[in-house]
Chain A
Amino acid sequence: MTRTPIRRALGAVGLLAFGILGAGPCAVLAQDIIRVGAPLPLTGPLAPDAAKQQQGYDLWAETANKAGGVNVGGKRMKVEIVYVDYQSNTPRAVQATEKLITQDKVNFLFSPFGSGAAKAASAVSEKYEVPTIAATASSEQVYDQGYKYLFGTFTPNPTLTEPLSDMVRKNAAGVQRVAILARNDLFPLAIAQEMEKSAKKRGMNVVYFERYPIGTLDYSATLAQMKAQAPHWIFATGYINDLVTMKKQMGDLKIDAPVVTMITAPAFKEFIDASGKGSENITTAAWWHPAARYKGKDVFGTTENYNKLFTAKYKIDPDYSPASASAAGAILQMGIERAGSIERRKVRDAIAAINEMTFWGPVKFGPTGQITSLEPPVIQIQGGKHVAIYPASIKQGDLRLGVK
């Protein structure tokens, strides 16, 4: 008997609390906040890559909000990023994207990680007509579906392999035999195939081309076979865990070559830390390098300012991966501000029309939605540091030969 009034009182307090905390401010806030959905592989094998993406998105949201928010037709709106962990599982990335649109009611989206997942999820965002920016998808196969709402901050794969091949051709005429080892995954395989084309185009001989499965632990048999081909140029693709393991095992088998290129990991400081002296003279290509000096019109302004903000927040230098995530945010912000609205169709048209300099470089999207205006740098690890060796505008050193 005594319980009933207490229950009623509790119920009333609960309702009141719901009224104050739940419905009230949310209804107001919902109009003042731009919600951007970001499905990321926060756990699972791709977690280190997701952590970098998250850093980039967070830095953009923080910078935009500190500046008062996004200017939407004179009204300042704050941004909020809604993360969903899809556990490095592509089918779950697609579900997460749909959940973000239908349940979390996000206004815009960033793609899940890598070309494969971005392509899979783009079908969903296209269906709901949600402008989506892919910060880590370079393969042209992602953008060739005729979708209107998908944009990408990475130029197509050949823009990485072509300058690299030119440079090797020019500086090391003796390099004839090329061995390619690729992770059997959309982007790593696609870039390996581009490399094959670039090498053949320049009269080089591709003596070895193999793919290894995702989750490979041991490369020794594969590498022993590659060594038997005596390659001059070893081109290996994969993500950081793959390539750190592979480089260690190359050392174990005494494999050396004038040129060793790995994509993507060597652009990250973690690769140098993990590989030590074994990383010396490894070349890689990326879409951006902190040595660039662009004077942008976006929320970050110059590349120098971006580097400063990033280093202040995370105590490390940025690499292309978080920078691309920040660029995705900055481009979205530019689109919204130019549209003067958060109406999805208007923002989509505004993004498609952007032709502007940013801290990330010149931004202009091609008819497929993929950026066409960047000139991706070639980077070499020299003396335990990243050194840009191409293009001439940001060059810090020359190509060095000999990787042990």
Chain B
Amino acid sequence: MLTLQILANGLVLGGLYACIAAGFSLVWGVLNVINILHGSFIVLGGYLAFFAYVKLGIHPFVSILIAAPIFFVLGYALQRALINRMIAAPVLLTLSLTFGLDLMLSNGMLYAFTADFKKLTLDPPLGVVSLGSIVLPVDRLFAMLLALALTGLLYLVLSRSRIGRAIVAVRMDREAAALMGVNVKHIYAMTFGLGALMAGASGPLLAMIFPISPLSGPVYLGKAFVICVLGGLGSVPGAMIGGLALGVVESFGALWFGPEHSVTLSFTLLILMLLFRPTGLLGRTGYA
């Protein structure tokens, strides 16, 4: 029974992880930009949900709808105005740029919201559902379903819509896409905007579960890195598989080897993946 409970916990956690990583993976895969800002965007989305709930009584699920367009515009503008200027530069330079922007954003949040941890506590709480002896908190379950829906939606946009196909085309061959009449700069900005949207939208989901602090950005970012490597870089199904795998591995790692070794286990897995299957579980390079 314990095994089933832990598997359920792991899957629910994995759904959240997938949501954290999808946008990050998209930006890395398409733009070849390691967006260090990603973690802080999630945190900012969390603050938005926190204040919307505390001051205006807006439920975090509704906040997602508010956060999504805001972050999309923010991401689009940032890419258009700043990152596009460096897009052809080596990856380390764009990394430094987003690192610098991240320092500004996280210190700005530190200034505005202080370092105290804030917790979005729903009143009344959503409670738990019991399936036999397995207990699952409703907020996590909802958050996981929404995370899966968001990730699925992103997949649909990329595979079905015109703009999505253009994003994939640019990822595969920038010059050829440009020759076919694709406005590469616009597509880059759209991609970054989508990545920011995913981060901003996962903020309210995570805010219901974890305390919010201006300094938790790097924690989310670290998870996103591992998930990208596990699942394969730059693919939505990859982020999904990687997220679920990480959630389950961490949970069983805690059960079998004790909580202090669950992270060790996931990083060991990361190293093994890099050694033997550097393209990730799905084994595809490139975005599709």
Contacts and interface: CB of A to CB of B under 8 A. Distances in A.
B159 interface: no
A219 interface: yes
B55 to A, nearest CB: 15
B13 A218 contact: yes
Interface string A248-282: 10011110000000000000001001111000000
Given A213-B260, A274-B117, A220 B251 contact: yes
Contact of A244 (B125, B137, B211, B215): B211
A195 B258 CA distance: 19
Nearest to A88: B215
A228 B135 CA distance: 13
B211 A245 contact: yes
Q: Is the interface of B mostly helix, strand, loop or mixed?
A: helix
A188 to B, nearest CB: 12
Contacts of A220: 6, 9, 12-13, 251
Contacts of B153: none
B117 A222 contact: no
A269 to B, nearest CB: 11
Interface residues of A, number: 39
A225 B5 CA distance: 9
Contacts of A203: none
Contacts of A221: 6, 9-10, 250-255, 259, 262
A51 B259 contact: no
A51 B12 CA distance: 35
A50 B213 CA distance: 14
Interface stretch (A40-48, A60-68, A121-129): A40-48
A147 interface: no
B228 to A, nearest CB: 17
Interface stretch (B24-32, B108-116, B177-185, B232-240): B108-116
A71 interface: no
B255 A241 contact: no
Nearest to B134: A224
Interface string B242-271: 000000001111110011101100000000
Contacts of B9: 218, 220-221, 224
A211 B260 contact: yes
Given A224-B9, A248-B119, 6 more contacts: A51-B114, A241-B213, A251-B125, A252-B139, A274-B117, A274-B121
Ranked nearest first, the 9 interchain pairs of A and B with the lowest CB-CB distance are A47-B115, A252-B137, A274-B119, A221-B251, A221-B254, A212-B259, A220-B9, A222-B259, A276-B121
